[in-house]
């Protein structure tokens, strides 16, 4: 095998009303992809009941499934329970961590987590002033630092960063400029560029744009379902 085929989607927002309706859209995925990456906002309101629907729809797929949570998945303070439920269903859930899967003799390393906001170079919040502002920016900085370590420790032939929040502003085009700081942070891109990642996958920006690049030239893809208009998009890493 000289390439890895990646299916990716985010913002599927499953609830009880979608039980049994998302899985059929994944039929035959093994003929088109080697792995499925899911970039957060798996649920609507972050309840365990909704997490169980996600587990039901993604369980026992014929390709490995790696996911992260999104902001919706934290809303009901049941994110830990949702992660446990998904892992029990055989889904690898990254929480500022990494995993490696074997794909046709190659090792694909995936690192990441939810991510967070703060804005982008020249138009970003700084760790200065009120405690609340400092805590907001510090949270993202600490996440990015954990990603740096997770990526550095990956022993893989190819590396992907999987996030919910965006690392670049280019994939946010279409969203109101006023909310860019709440959709992502340049600190996430810096972590990826330092590790020479091959591809970055994210969601969150429903009205955004699919394609972007980090300052270091890494491909960034916004796979929010409203953006890609399908159950998943396909990308190749050669």
Q: What is the pLDDT of residues 94-126, one digit of tens each?
A: 999 999 999 988 999 999 999 999 999 888 889
Residue with tokens 């390393």: 109
> Which residues are within 8 A (CB) of 115 and not within 5 positions of it... i.e. 6 or more apart?
68, 140, 143, 163, 164, 165, 166, 167, 184, 185, 188, 202
Domain ranges of the chain: 4-237
Q: Identify the pLDDT of residue 190.
A: 97
Instruction: Give the N- to C-terminal CA distance of the chain in Å, as an integer.
Output: 9
Distances (CA, A) of 199 to 2, 17, 169, 192: 16, 33, 16, 9
Q: What is the pLDDT of residues 180-207, one digit of tens each?
A: 999 999 999 999 999 989 999 999 999 9
Smallest CA-to-CA distance from 99 within 57, 142, 52, 38 is with: 38
**Matching CATH number, 4-237, of 2.60.120.260, 3.60.21.10, 3.40.720.10, 3.40.50.1820:** 3.60.21.10
């Amino acid at each position: 095998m000289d390439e890895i085929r990646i299916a990716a989607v985010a913002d599927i927002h499953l609830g009880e009303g979608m039980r049994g309706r998302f899985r059929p859209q994944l039929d035959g995925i093994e003929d088109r992809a080697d792995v499925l990456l899911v970039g957060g906002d798996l649920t609507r309101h972050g309840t365990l009941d909704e997490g169980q629907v996600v587990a039901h729809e993604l369980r026992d797929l014929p390709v490995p499934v790696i996911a992260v949570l999104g902001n919706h998945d934290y809303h009901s303070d049941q994110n830990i329970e949702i992660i446990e439920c998904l892992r029990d269903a055989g889904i690898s859930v990254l929480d500022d961590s990494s995993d490696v899967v074997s794909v046709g003799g190659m090792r694909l390393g995936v690192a990441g987590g939810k991510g967070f906001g703060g804005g982008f170079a020249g138009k970003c919040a700084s760790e200065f002033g009120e405690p609340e502002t400092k805590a907001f920016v510090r949270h993202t900085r600490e996440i990015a630092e954990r990603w740096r370590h997770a990526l550095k420790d990956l022993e893989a032939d190819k590396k992907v960063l999987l996030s919910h929040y965006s690392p670049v502003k280019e994939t946010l085009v279409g969203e109101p400029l006023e909310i860019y700081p709440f959709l992502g942070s340049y600190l996430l891109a810096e972590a990826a560029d330092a590790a020479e990642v091959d591809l970055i996958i994210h969601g969150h920006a429903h009205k955004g744009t699919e394609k972007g690049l980090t300052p270091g030239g890494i491909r960034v893809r916004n796979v929010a379902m409203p953006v890609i208009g399908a159950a998943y998009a396909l990308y190749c890493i050669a």
